[in-house]
Amino acid sequence: QSVLTQPPSVSAAPGQKVTVSCSGGRSNIGSSFVSWYQQLPGTAPKLLISEDYKRFSGIPDRFSGSKSGTSATLGITGLQSGDEADYYCATWDNVLDALVFGGGTKLTVL
Partner 1 sequence: QLQLQESGPGLVKPSETLSLTCTVSGDSISSSYWYWGWIRQPPGKGLEWITTINNSWKTYYNPALKSRVTISVDTSQNQFSLTLSPVIAADTAVYYCARQSSGLGSFHDYWGQGIMVTISS
Which residues bind to partner 1, rule: CB under 8 A? 2, 31-35, 37, 39, 43-47, 50-52, 56, 88, 90-92, 94, 96-104
Provide the minimum distance between the beta carbon of 42 and partner 1 in the complex, in angstroms, as a whole number: 10
Provide the minimum distance between the beta carbon of 13 and partner 1 in the complex, in angstroms, as a whole number: 26
User: 37 vs 83, which CB is nearer to partner 1?
Assistant: 37
**Cα-based distances in Å from 10 to 4, 46, 68:** 17, 19, 21
User: 63 vs 102, which CB is nearer to partner 1?
Assistant: 102
User: 12 vs 47, which CB is nearer to partner 1?
Assistant: 47
CA 12 to chain CA centroid, nearest Å? 16
Residue 90 one-letter amino acid: A
